[in-house]
Structure 1
Amino acid sequence: MYLEKRRKRWYAIHEIPEDVRKALGCGKRFFKSLETEDKTMAKRRAALLEVRWLHEIETARKGGTLDHVERDALYWRKVLADTPEDQREIVIGLIADEAQDRVEAVLDREGIVDERDPRAADLPVYDEAGRFFGIATGKIVRLTEHLDEWLATLDNEAKTKDMKRSTIQRFAEKFPYITDVRGKEVQRWVNALATEEEKKAKTIRRILSELRGYWAYLVSIEVVQSDHQPFIQLQLPKANGSKVGSESWVPFTPADVIHLLQAAEARKDDTLADLIRIAMWTGGRIESLCALKVNEVGDGFFDILHDKSEAGRRTVPIHSKLKPTMDRLLKNAKADGYVLPGLTENKYGDRSDAIGKRFGRLKTTLGFTEQHVFHSIRKTVATLLENAGVPENVAADIIGHDKPTMTYGLYSGGASLEVKRDALEKISYPSPG
């Protein structure tokens, strides 16, 4: 890099190595006016230009494309962030020059004399130049730019964090920049989730909750103005002529459960059959049952310690009809220490993923719809308990549900094991045909 004065103005010049000239699409050197007659000021501006030109040379050597607006803009934003306050205006001026250079290059290529030419009125390059300037100066920020740092602040399990990441990234496909996120457009996006993708209101509420959480973080780090709140007062639309969000999973009938059990046995899927047996006599969630360990089983009961809720971590009596299965499983327990052996963990440590998919294929083969899932067995047990006249608070202690009342929910230690055992023994299924 060297300086050269021409007609009272200083210019920066940098020789371009021969191996990158073709990739850069330039001649033998970079050449740019520093727009000053003062040599000290020229040196400051030239130093910034040198950093930029060296960056372009290195990028070209790595095979990168140099006409990518966002990549170049992000480079300038880094330069601006590292620039002392008293020199920021210089860098902003260079950014503005860069944006104008992009416009002029297109005007030259299109044979347009200058920007007053009416043919240039709606030329996209002006929008591109504005986007370049906005990104480089930090006025336009990608929605996902602070996603990783937000997730790092959360006290969630890896699976939950991945779900939130997926939500934000999917939303960013429609709204890539923070400035794109406006209430009216967000409402249309929500409408599409409900009507075109047929998402349930419960799912949409979760999505919006995750988006609000991330947006609140952006406000807290002053990336977003606190009065810009595009996720409030959104309406959940109707889909297929009914309110979105009513829980659509339905219980199996007791006969359905027996049918599923027999089908698993016919397929010689012994582990799935055992899983169905445990679920139909306990109402346990699939994740909790697959995580059940041998050392968590006692004399006539087992402790569910791996449930997603506080109420879900409970002691469950072993139904008399389930006892032979549990005795067999404990007797034949494998070295992995689980009641249901041989299940593989997914990346979140969940052992229920693969067997859950096997259950899904089984129930589909038997003609059940998406309204029936493994969780439907849990609903079957709850229905049987209700029909047997079991008090709701006792049923909640068996199933692992929160109790909403002050007396039972806040002050009670829960039903005793014997009370739960007596209640659970009241449920029954039809004999196999």
Structure 2
Amino acid sequence: MPKLPSYLERPWNVYHATLKVPKDVHHFFNQTKFYESLETDSLAEANIKKLPLISKWKTQIKVARSSKKLGADLGIDEQVAFYRGELERNWKGFEEDGLNSVADILDEKYLRDHDNQTMYDIPPRTDTTDQEKLAAVTIFKRVSGEWTATHERVDEYVAQAEYTMQTADECRGNLKLFTDRFEVFETISERDIEAWVLELLENVSLRTVKKKIGFVRSYWRYCKKRHFTKTNPNSILTEDIYPEKRKTKATITRQVKAKRKAFTVDDYHQLLKAKPNDQLLCDLITLAAYTGCRREEICSMPLSKVTSDRFFVEDAKTESSWREIPIHSEIRQLVSRLVDTSEDGFLLSGLDASNNKYKKRGNALGRRFLRLRDKFYNHQYVLHSFRKTLATQMMTAGIPEAHAAQIVGHDLDTMTYGLYGEDIGFDAKVEAIEKCSYVLGN
């Protein structure tokens, strides 16, 4: 029987989360381990559902150890975990009474001076700060379930999203910006987000900010759908959080300078002539120009996805990116050479993916291209620009947009072509790709 992943047990075909309680805090919990049913027989689902429980239990252990130290200073998360644990252990079936007890403790500790109460009034404490008083309110509302901390479900969300490692790291980074700024969902307003957006725009573009907000929106929807919070992201993350577009000379200039440009046929030959001894880089440029493929689509393409007349692009970034691309007649000899001389089973042989975190085969080659690019062009030109070049050539040749989209791997937003359109067939793709050429004088 295969060994189960950490923190999981499977009695009666149902997975349970479990965590051993350290010996030094056995007396605090009156148990030797935490144990709770995940109510699923799916290992994949269990691995996701265990995360918030393990996090909660580890925090409770930390609190138990801290409570043994005189004057230990516990943060909001630790105090929330402590009081939640107390309710679970000592107030089952009497949760409302337990919450009243928590409210009394917090009130006496942070809010009101019970030592100096009169017959008619309990004066506010003067030895606690406004920040501590606000923390007391936050602790109680989180313990009662009225408020939800924004950070509590991040790991669970990322795990179930099935992101690539790189996208998962990007997601976590953006959600940390959000959770560091906003502690609980229930106090966030549209105006708060609008102010945050303006701060972000001081350092990054509007497009980048919208991508960050996209991660936040997806995470928030996940939390609402699973009833972790009642707040609705759709009423807060509206289009009104972004500044109005102003068509001034300055903004238009910025947009034009930021927009990517397409290489010309002359540019293509200039790049090849500038690095005649770097065969691998020249091959990458040629393949990008004649296929419109992204860098990693080319660099990670196995020979099993290359036939005598076409490439099969799979495991791409979007559904529309999964496609077949005819091998242009002008590069058939190049492709044949690459297939015949490959020593590692990839179309571009000899690339090393071990020296970068995300195992991208094309990273080093991509940097070589950028160094070459910098000799002749600015940031508006990237390897991706050849996708625009190919699309422009097909548009000039009168190729229907639906045909071009299936070659370069673009989504179609129209109802007719995008939702109901079928594959145009390989012959139509060949006709479209052969309308393009990088031969000088054509």
C-alpha distance 242-139 of structure 1, shift in aligned 2 (>3 A): farther
Name the residue aligned to 2:44. none
Q: Residue type matched to 2:78 in 1?
A: R
Deviation at 1:388, TM superposition (A): 3.0
Which range moves more in the overlay, 289-298 or 157-166? 157-166
Return closer, same or farther for 1:243/1:99 CA change in 2, 3 Å cut-off.
Answer: farther
Which residue number corresponds to residue 216 of structure 2?
211
How is 1:285-300 mapped onto 2 (pairs within 5 angstroms)? 285-300=294-309
Equivalent of 1:70 in 52, 58, 77? 77
Contact 2:313–2:322 (CA under 8 A) maintained in structure 1: yes
Partners in 2 of 1:78 and 1:300 — Cα distance?
65
CA contact (8 A) 1:103 1:126 kept: yes
1:221 to 226, 237, 245: 226
State yes or no: 1:262 paired with 2:273: yes
CA distance in 2, matches of 1:84, 1:278: 67
Residue 261 of structure 2: SS of its match in structure 1? coil
Shift in CA distance, 308/89, structure 1 to aligned 2, threshold 3 Å: closer
CA spacing shift, 1:115–1:364, aligned 2, 3 Å:
farther
Q: How does 1:136-285 map to 2 (within 5 A)?
A: 136-154=143-161, 156-193=163-200, 195-201=201-207, 203-226=208-231, 229-237=235-243, 238=245, 241-242=251-252, 248-263=259-274, 265=275, 268-285=277-294
User: Amino acid of the residue matched to residue 373 of structure 2?
Assistant: K
2:388 is matched with which residue: 354, 379, 389? 379
> CA 1:260 to 1:94, structure 2 compared with 1: closer, same or farther past 3 Å?
farther
Q: Report if the CA contact (8 A) 2:311-2:324 is conserved.
A: yes
Aligned mates of 2:69, 2:254 — CA distance in 1: 51
Deviation at 1:196, TM superposition (A): 1.2
Counterpart of 2:228 in structure 1: which amino acid? V
Distance 1:243 1:81 in 2: 60
Q: Which amino acid aligns with 1:289?
A: I
- How big is each residue's C-alpha offset from its partner over 1:148-184, in whole Å with a ceiling of 9 and x where there is no partner? 2333443554444443333322211221322342111
* 3-state SS of paired residue (1:322): helix
What is the TM-score of this pair, normalised by structure 2?
0.70
CA distance in 1, matches of 2:199, 2:60: 45
> What is the rounded CA distance, in whole Å, between the counterparts of 2:299 and 2:124 in structure 1?
71
What's 1:352 paired with?
A: 362
Secondary structure of the structure 1 residue equivalent to 2:312: strand
- Compute the displacement of 1:340 (Å): 0.7
Q: CA–CA distance in 2 between the matches of 1:196 and 1:423?
A: 44
Pairing of 1:309-324 with structure 2 (within 5 A): 309-324=318-333
Deviation of 1:64 after TM superposition, in Å, equals: 11
Which range moves more in the overlay, 349-358 or 241-250?
Answer: 241-250
**Distance apart, 1:105 and its partner CA:** 12
Shift of 1:299: 1.8
Aligned residues: 370
Kept in 2: contact 1:394–1:415 (CA 8 A): no
Q: Kindly report which structure 2 residues correspond to 1:418-429, keeping only aligned pairs within 5 A, or say none.
A: 419-429=428-438
Shift of 1:143: 0.4
Aligned 8 A contact 1:408 1:414 in 2: no
Q: CA RMSD in A?
A: 4.0
The sequence identity of aligned pairs, in percent, is 27
Query: 1:134 matched to which residue of 2?
Result: 141
- Would you say the 8 A contact 1:291–1:306 is kept in 2? no
Whether 1:410 aligns to 2:420 is yes
The 1:394–1:129 alpha-carbon spacing in structure 2 relative to 1, beyond 3 Å, is closer
Which one of the candidate residues 325, 331, 338 is aligned to 2:340? 331
Deviations 1:208-263 (A, max 9, x none): 33322222232233332256732235343237535999982221222223233333
The equivalent of 1:58 in structure 2 is 65
Q: Distance in 2 between matches of 1:214 and 1:135?
A: 19
CA distance in 2, matches of 1:414, 1:308: 21
Q: Partner of 1:24 in structure 2?
A: none
Contact persistence 1:292–1:306 (CA under 8 A): no
1:366 corresponds to which of 373, 376, 392: 376
Q: In the alignment, what sits opposite 1:401?
A: 410
Report the more deviating stretch, 157-166 or 319-328. 157-166
Q: Which runs of 5+ in 1 are unaligned?
A: 1-51, 109-113
Inter-partner Cα distance in structure 1 for 2:65 and 2:111 = 25
TM-score by length of 1: 0.71
| CA 1:412–1:225: 2 relative to 1, 3 Å | closer
Quote the residue 1:9 is aligned against: none
Report how far residue 145 of structure 1 moved.
Answer: 0.2
- Secondary structure of the corresponding residue to residue 320 of structure 2: coil
**3-state DSSP of counterpart to 2:153:** helix
How far apart, CA to CA, are the structure 2 residues paired with 1:58 and 1:382? 63
* Structure 2 CA distance for aligned equivalents of residues 230 and 275 of structure 1: 45
3-state SS of 1:311 partner: helix
Q: Which residue identity does 1:252 align to in structure 2? A: F
Out of 373-382 and 232-241, give the one that drifted further. Answer: 232-241
Q: Which has the larger radius of gyration?
A: 1
